[in-house]
Amino acid sequence: MTPSPQPFLSRTRFLTLALVFEGGLALVGLIWGWFVGIEPFAYLNFNGSALGWALMGTLPLMFLFWVSYRFPVGPLGPIKRLLIETLGPYLDNCRYYDLLLIALLAGVCEELFFRGVLQPWIEAMGGATLGLIGSNLIFALAHFITRTYALLAGLMGVYLGLLLDVGEQRNLLTPMMVHTLYDFFAFLVVVRTFRLEKAQRISNREDKY
């Protein structure tokens, strides 16, 4: 039985790295938006409609993640192991509110960049369809861990891009909330699996003595 993977970074450094990376992405988006005349916060509207759409929009993603995680056929199997073995040790060091913070950073900062600036910028040059496809090709490349993972990320990006305009008016809050809730759910599932496997390893070692 192989030992549990050990994290190279402490909890504090892991959280700091997440803050620097995601915050840096948001900062790049804001600066880029300023240069090209796009104000992402103009699409940010806090209202009950966005909350409702976000809750409804998150459930299908959670279901699909659970099914693919529970039944990891084909290329989904290596992705599951990769998440458990590379991300699991770091999530295991975190408190539950840390996981929510990381999910919030990813949801807000990545959506600000990709849906708040990049998609409208490409739309301004080539229309809504090109904006949706082009921004999410880049979103997929930014998540290129494996080809399958990148494909799934790109499809999720298209879904989030469509949610941007799901209400009566464009609202960046909806994809931000969906992204955050989905990531938090995924983190909880991955860390639970990691902890169960770690406990099983410990139990197996004790049974040998």
Residue 200's pLDDT is 86
Q: Are 130 and 123 in contact (CB under 8 A)?
A: yes
Computed over its alpha carbons, how large is the radius of gyration of the chain? 19
Q: Any long-range contacts for 193-199 (C-beta under 8 Å, 24+ apart)?
A: 193/84, 193/88, 194/4, 194/84, 194/88, 194/89, 194/91, 194/92, 195/92, 197/4, 197/84, 198/4, 198/92
Alpha-carbon distance 16 to 13, whole Å? 5
Say if 80 falls within a structural domain.
yes
Longest CA–CA span in the chain (Å) reads 68
Specify the DSSP element, H or E, that contains 205: helix 173-207
Residue 1's pLDDT is 46
Q: Kindly report the average pLDDT of the chain as a whole number.
A: 93
Which tokens sit at 135? 């921004």
Residue 158's pLDDT is 98
Q: What is the number of structural domains in the chain?
A: 1
Say if 113 falls within a structural domain.
yes
Say if 1 falls within a structural domain.
no
Say if 155 falls within a structural domain.
yes
pTM above 0.85, yes or no: yes
Say if 4 falls within a structural domain.
no
Say if 5 falls within a structural domain.
no
Residue 92, exposed/middle/buried by CB under 10 A (0-12, 13-18, 19+)?
middle
Residues of the chain with pLDDT below 50 are: 1
- Helices 173-207 and 147-163 pack at an angle, to 10 degrees, of 140
Domain range for residue 51?
A: 11-207
